[in-house]
Structure formats: structure tokens, C-alpha cells
Amino acid sequence: MPIYPVKDNKPTRNAFGEAMAELGQSNPDVVVLCADLKGSLKLEKFSENHPDRYFSIGIAEADMIGTAAGLAIGGKIPFTATFAEFSTGRVYDQIRQSVAYSNTNVKICASHAGLTLGEDGATHQALEDIGLMRALPGMTVIVPCDANETYSATMAIAKFKGPVYLRFGRPNQPNFTEINPDFQIGKANVLNPGKDVTIIATGILVWKALEAAEILQAEGLTVRVINIHTIKPLDVEAIVTAAKETGAIVTAEEHQKNTGLGDAVAHVISTQFPVPLEIVAVNDTFGESGLPDELLTQYGLSTQDLVKAAKKAISRKK
Amino acid sequence: MTHSELQTISRQLKRDVIKMITHAESGHPGGSLGMADIFTALYFSEMKHDPAKWPSVEGQDLFFLSNGHIAPIWYATLARTGYFPLAELSTLRKIHSRLQGHPATKEGLPGIRVASGSLGQGLSVAIGAAMAYKLDNRPEWIYVAMGDGELNEGQIWEAAMNGPHQKVDNLIAFVDRNRLQIDGSTEVVKKLDPLPDKWKAFGWNVLEINGHDFAEILAAIAKAKTNLGTGIPTVIIANTVMSKGVSFMENIAKWHGTPPTKEMEAKALIELAPTEWKDYDDPAARVYKGRN
């Protein structure tokens, strides 16, 4: 299998901040609205270099979304910045009406997604956000797998016209992809070829999928690994091809089983090419305080969980 | 345009509203009639806007309607100022219409830049647009109208904090202070008074007017415009009468969202005497061509 050397360990949010600093220089229409989390979303550089285009909205997320819609109407490309929970669940109706239904060019940038936010616990651990956002007609939903991909995706959504939800996170994370100036929204990347099973992963679970593939390879199995950074629009072709060519699928995400990537993939394969499917995700429960890796293990999202799910999917093949 | 001419236009818009909602057998006449004078003052006198330039914002004053349920008066106003054909007013709330029950952009109705209906969002949007205009040094103005019942929504007060914070002195907000919402008096449902003091405490330039007096409406806008450079946005609290102009509907909360019957329509159209603008379904109906 191809080797993906880890360049460094880096939080995806740091790369978001770096991309915003770059966008600040290169695109005068880009503006940032932040709900009192400048440090957490690494927006210091943008705010220092472009104070006229950095808007401190305060802890007022509903107002932030509406204000962003207005800035878009006025011709700007607004990026809103807060934690994933407050970017979605708290402001669902504002996004629905003023952004999605109105098709305003707002980029909703959400950090600290999922369990790996860690010690702050369940109130802050967004595990339903992908489902909420993918339910909205016209919304693009992107979950990059590492820091470099977060950078690439942030640059790409500035060029893309339409509402976007961009989800990233807090902890250090192996940074193994190359920065890609041609990041294709809606196009899945096959990171490892394989014939016995496909792991379709998104976000930080992509790295764990590669780890699982390596373990399974040592046991004589070949595992296709797909990085599906765009949850909506979904790369249906990549999923159906994987179902046809490997005959079994595992999905992996740091999100609730209900409404997440697993549901989206289940819909595709059950209607187009049914094969055994195992969904690795949080099983209809809230999170809790703890360290990122402790939490991923506790809630069934570890590399070993992926190995087990892959074996189970293979065993269910007829 | 003289105040008397504006009064005539407002009466025609009210006729349009009554006919549209009666025909649709659904809709919100109360706030639509109550805000007819302010819509008339804005679109027929005060605002710099050109439907031929749609959807460009270049050189345009922008108007946002936060309490989207009074869409009928906005649709009538937009049609009468040339944004879309008058005949389309008869499609209000019907299937395949661009005139949705609440304002929407998806169907592509000219004049509307954001959906509204779920209350409390329009002031935020308008402030965002005003911020964009400031960034681009645009000299045009941003207007927004809100209902008073809508001020129950928390987002309004988040936006009320944000307006002066972002120094959008290019924004003029109207509150339709008719003192009624669906369940009755605004003061019984969720007390709003002292409303001017609340806005003042949030840092706004607050003007209070009779929302049916063109002299007061236009003077308030002129006064708001002198605020440019202070960083302080203006809110005009317009004391209005729900369903103004139709005596048997005035000041009754039921008319927030009840369509008139055919008989009531006939009575209302007697009170709102016909004008030289003619009703929208009359082939001789007129559209305002602007000041140029």
C-alpha cells in the first residue's frame, strides 16, 4: 500500500487559520465573522492584518449567520467562525432560511467538531452537525481529513459560489496529505487500492482507516480506503464502484450513526448496489469529557474498531 | 411627489392587498395594510432604486422585510414600481407562483434578496448588508422593516447590539408598532414597553412617528440621514394601526392572518375608493416609472 508519511502533527483548525490569513491577502472580498473564538479558530493573523474585514460579533451566533447573509448580499464572501455545535444546532433555522433557502454565499466554518474536542464534554461535542447540514437543500458539506486538506478546502470554498458547511477540529492530528490547489469539492479520493473491503471515511477517521488497512494487509486482506471529504454532494460513483469492486463497505465518521456519513452511504448502496455495510460512528448517545483518543476508543471509533468492522463486513459477503 | 399623491398610491396598494389576499383565500392583511404608507414613502419617494438594474446592488438602496408575512404589501409595491408584471399579483400563494406565502428568492422574484418569514432574522441581514456597503464606501442606504411582535425574538436584540457596534449609520430600521400580535396585545403577550428606551439603551438613534403621516415618515428618514458619520444607526418606531384604512378590520388582532371574505372585500373596496392607478387586474392599471 502507498505510504503516507506524517509530515507533522497539527490541528486542522490551525490550517484553517493559515488559509484564512492567505485568503485575507489574496481575496479582498473575503470577510470573517467570529463569535468570540478568535484564538480557538486561529484567526489572529487575519484579524491583525485585515481589521476592517474581521468582524467581532460577540457570543451571538444567530445574529452572526444573519449578518453573514447580509454581507453576502452586499457582495462579500463571509466566513463565519465558531465551534461546530454553535455553528449548526444553535442556528439551524437561521441557516435554513437566510443561507440555504436564500442561497446566500456564506461559508460556515466550524471547529471543535465531534468527540475529540475532549475535556469540555458533551455540551460542546457536536455529533449531529453533519446530519443537520446535509439535510438542507443546496448546502455543501465538507469534512477534511487533516490540516493540509483543511487548508486546501478552505481555499476552495472561497472560490465556490454557494452555502458551505466546513467542519474541522481541535486536537493534534497526523498531517499526511499534500496541499492541493485543485481541491475538488464533491470528489472522493482513493487513498489505498484494495479488493476485499472498502473503508469510506471522513475527517480524522481517514487516518485511522489507513492504519486499519495496514493491519488488515498484514493479515492478507487488501482494503480500499476512500477519503470522502465532501459529504454533500456525495461522490455516488466512487461509492457504487467500491461496492461493485470490493463487495463490502465500512463507513467511519466522528458523528452520530443517525443522519451521518453512514446513513448517506447506506442510502446509495441500498438503492444502487446492495452489499454488506458496517457503520462505525457514535451509536445514538452523547459524548463526555476525556482525552481525544480515550473518547474515540470509548465510543467505538478506534483503529481496532475499524479492523473489527472490516472483518465483519467481509464475513457477511455471500 | 406630493403627500396627496403618495396617499393615493398607498390607497391603491391597500386595494391591491385586499384583492390579492381575498383571491388567495389566505394571507396576512393586517400588517400589510398597516405598513402601506411606509412602503409607499420608501419605494415611491425616498429610496434610490431601479428595477432595470436588478439584481445588481450597484447604486441601489436596499430594503429588507424581516416580518415576511406582510409580503402582500411588498409584492404590490414591487409590482407597482416595475419589478414584475402586475398580473402576477393574482398568483399570490398559488402553486408555481413566484409570490410565495412568505418572501423567497428561490423562485426568482425580482426585488427580494433573502427569504423571510421565520421571524427575527431581517435586522441581522440588513446590518450585514450595511456593513458590506460601508466596506465598499457605497453611499446608498439600507432599510429594514420589522414587526413589533417580532421583537420578542432574541436575535433582534443580538442584532440591536451589533448595529451600533458595527457603526452602521447607513441603516434605517422601521418597527411597525401596531401593538398587536397573533395572540392579542403586544403588552399582554410579551411586554415591549418602554420600547424607545430599549432601543436607546442599545445605542440607537430612536425616532417615534405616526406611521400613517407622510410628512412625519419622510421627515424622520431625512433626520435619520443626518446621522451619517456618527456611527449610530436609526430605528424609526412607527406607531401604526393594524389594517389601517378598512374600518371593520382596524385594530383587531384576528386580521393579522385572516383573509377577508368576498363580501368583506367588497365592503373594504368601497372604503378604499378606486384610484387613477386602477386595480391590478384592470388592463388600464398603471405602474410607477420612477422619478426620471
Structure confidence by residue, pLDDT tens digits, B80-124: 999 999 999 999 999 999 999 999 999 999 999 999 999 999 999
Cα–Cα distance for residue pair B125/B108, rounded to 1 Å: 19
In a domain, B283, yes or no: no
Domain containing B213: what range?
3-271
Cα–Cα distance for residue pair B188/B84, rounded to 1 Å: 40
Of A74, A75, A97, the CB nearest to B115: A97
Domains A8-175 and A189-315 equal at CATH topology level: yes
Do A239 and A268 form a contact (C-beta atoms < 8 A)?
yes
Q: Which chain A residues have any C-beta within 8 angstroms of a chain B C-beta?
A: 31, 52-53, 55, 57-58, 60, 62-76, 78, 93-94, 96-98, 101-104
| CB within 8 Å: B57 and A76 | no
Compute the average pLDDT of residues A35-46. Answer: 98
Report pLDDT digits (tens) over A257-297.
999 999 999 999 999 999 999 999 999 999 999 999 999 99
In a domain, B278, yes or no: no
Q: In terms of Cα–Cα distance, which of B108, B43, B109 is closest to B73?
A: B43
Domain map (residue ranges) of chain A: 8-175, 189-315
The yes or no reply on domain A8-175 and CATH 3.40.50.1240 is no
Of B64, B121, B131, the CB nearest to A55: B131
Catalytic residue among A18, A44, A48, A61: A61
Q: Which conformational region is residue A47 in: left (phi greater than 0), alpha (psi within -120 to 50 degrees), or beta?
A: alpha
Q: In terms of Cα–Cα distance, which of B10, B8, B20 is closest to B42?
A: B10
> A2 pLDDT exceeds 90?
no
pLDDT band of B189, cuts 50, 70, 90: very high
**B64 has which bridge partners?**
B144
| CB within 8 Å: A71 and B162 | no
Query: B144 φ, ψ to 5°?
Result: -145, 145
Of A55, A78, A98, the CB nearest to B114: A98
In a domain, B148, yes or no: yes
Look at residue B290 in the predicted model and tell me its pLDDT: 77
In a domain, B277, yes or no: no
- CATH number assigned to the domain covering A189-315: 3.40.50.920
Do A92 and B146 form a contact (C-beta atoms < 8 A)?
no
Percent of chain A predicted with pLDDT > 90 = 99
* A61 catalytic residue (yes or no): yes
Q: What's B205's domain CATH number?
A: 3.40.50.970
Chain A contact for B73 (CB, 8 A cutoff):
no
What residues in B contact A102, CB-CB < 8 Å? Answer: 104-106, 113-115
Rounded to 10 degrees, the C-alpha dihedral B218/B220/B226/B228 comes to -100
Q: CA A190: distance to chain centroid?
A: 16
Cβ pairs bridging A and B (under 8 Å): 116
> B178 pLDDT exceeds 50?
yes
Helical spans, DSSP H, in chain B: 3-24, 29-34, 36-41, 71-80, 122-135, 154-165, 186-189, 195-201, 214-225, 262-271
ipTM above 0.95, yes or no: yes
| CB within 8 Å: B124 and A101 | no
Which of B 4-63 lie inside 8 A of A, CB atoms? 57, 62
Report pLDDT digits (tens) over A118-146.
999 999 999 999 999 999 999 999 999 99
> B273 pLDDT exceeds 70?
yes
In a domain, B33, yes or no: yes
Q: What residue in B sits closest to A62 (Cα-Cα)? A: B155
Query: Would you state the cell numbers that stand for residue A73, as one nine-digit string?
Result: 448580499
What residues in B contact A55, CB-CB < 8 Å? Answer: 131, 166
Compute the average pLDDT of residues B137-141. Answer: 98
Of B57, B161, B165, the CB nearest to A74: B57
